[in-house]
Chain A
Amino acid sequence: MKILVAEDDQLMVKMLEFRLKKDGHDVTITNDGRAAVEKLDDFQPDLVITDIMMPYLSGLEVVSAVKKRYPTGTPVIILSGMGQENVVLEAFQLGADDYMTKPFSPNELSVRVRRFDASLVK
Chain B
Amino acid sequence: MVIKAYLLTSFNIAWHIQNIILAGIILLILGLLVYMLSYMYFKSIYDKKFEKWSLISDLLIRKAIFYDDDEIEDDTLIPVTARAEKLMHNKYFRKLLVTEIISAKKNITGISADNLKHLYVQLGLEKYALNNLTSSRWYIKARAVQELTIMDMKEFVDQLYSYTDDKNDLVRMEAQSALVQFNGFDGLRFLDTITYPISNWQQIKLLQQLSHLPPSDIDMSIWFKSPNSSVIVLALKLARNYHRFELHDDIISCLDHSDPWVRFEAIQCLTEIYTDETSDHLISRFLNEILKNQLAMIKVMQTIGTDRDVLFLLDLLTYDSDEIKIFAARALAQTSKNGLDSLLEYSGKADQSINEIVMHIKGEIAA
**A103-B66 contact given A11-B100, A14-B58, CB 8 Å threshold:** no
Max count, chain B CB within 10 A of own CB: residue among A11, A19, A108: A11
**A15-B65 contact given A9-B107, A103-B106, A103-B108, CB 8 Å threshold:** yes
Chain B residues with Cβ below 8 Å from A19 are 66
Chain B residues with Cβ below 8 Å from A70 are none
User: Is A11 in contact with B107, judged by CB distance below 8 angstroms?
Assistant: yes
User: Is B112 in contact with A107, judged by CB distance below 8 angstroms?
Assistant: yes
Does B49 touch A at the CB level, under 8 Å? Answer: no
Does A106 touch B at the CB level, under 8 Å? Answer: yes
Whole-angstrom distance between the alpha carbons of A14 and B62 in the complex? 8
User: Is A15 in contact with B100, judged by CB distance below 8 angstroms?
Assistant: no
User: Is A107 in contact with B103, judged by CB distance below 8 angstroms?
Assistant: no
Interface string of A1-25 (1 = CB under 8 A from B): 0000000010110110011001000
Whole-angstrom distance between the alpha carbons of A90 and B257 in the complex? 47
Chain A residues with Cβ below 8 Å from B66 are 18-19, 22, 106
User: Is A108 in contact with B58, judged by CB distance below 8 angstroms?
Assistant: no
Whole-angstrom distance between the alpha carbons of A2 and B66 in the complex? 21
Whole-angstrom distance between the alpha carbons of A91 and B106 in the complex? 23
Interface residues on A, range: 10 to 19
Partner of A105, one of B62, B103, B104, B109: B109
Interface string of A86-122 (1 = CB under 8 A from B): 0000000000000000111111100000000000000
User: Is B107 in contact with A18, judged by CB distance below 8 angstroms?
Assistant: no
B49 CB to nearest chain A CB (Å)? 19
User: Is A15 in contact with B109, judged by CB distance below 8 angstroms?
Assistant: no
Whole-angstrom distance between the alpha carbons of A18 and B67 in the complex? 12
Does B79 touch A at the CB level, under 8 Å? Answer: no
* Nearest residue, chain B, Cβ from A17: B62
Chain B residues with Cβ below 8 Å from A106 are 65-66, 108, 110, 112
Whole-angstrom distance between the alpha carbons of A69 and B117 in the complex? 42
Chain B residues with Cβ below 8 Å from A15 are 62, 65, 104, 107-108
**A105-B108 contact given A11-B100, A14-B58, A18-B62, CB 8 Å threshold:** yes
Chain A residues with Cβ below 8 Å from B105 are 103
Whole-angstrom distance between the alpha carbons of A80 and B169 in the complex? 31
* Nearest residue, chain B, Cβ from A110: B69
B101 CB to nearest chain A CB (Å)? 10
Chain A residues with Cβ below 8 Å from B108 are 15, 102-106
Give the B-binding residues of A (Cβ under 8 A). Answer: 9, 11-12, 14-15, 18-19, 22, 102-108
17 A-B interface contacts by CB (under 8 A): A11-B100, A11-B103, A11-B107, A14-B62, A15-B65, A15-B107, A18-B62, A102-B108, A103-B107, A103-B108, A104-B107, A104-B108, A105-B108, A106-B65, A106-B108, A106-B112, A107-B112
Give the A-binding residues of B (Cβ under 8 A). Answer: 58, 61-62, 65-66, 69, 100, 103-113
The 5 A-B pairs at the shortest CB distance, nearest first, are namely A105-B110, A103-B109, A105-B109, A102-B107, A106-B112
Task: A12-B107, A103-B105 are known; give 6 further A-B pairs, CB within 8 A.
Answer: A14-B58, A14-B62, A15-B62, A15-B104, A102-B106, A105-B109
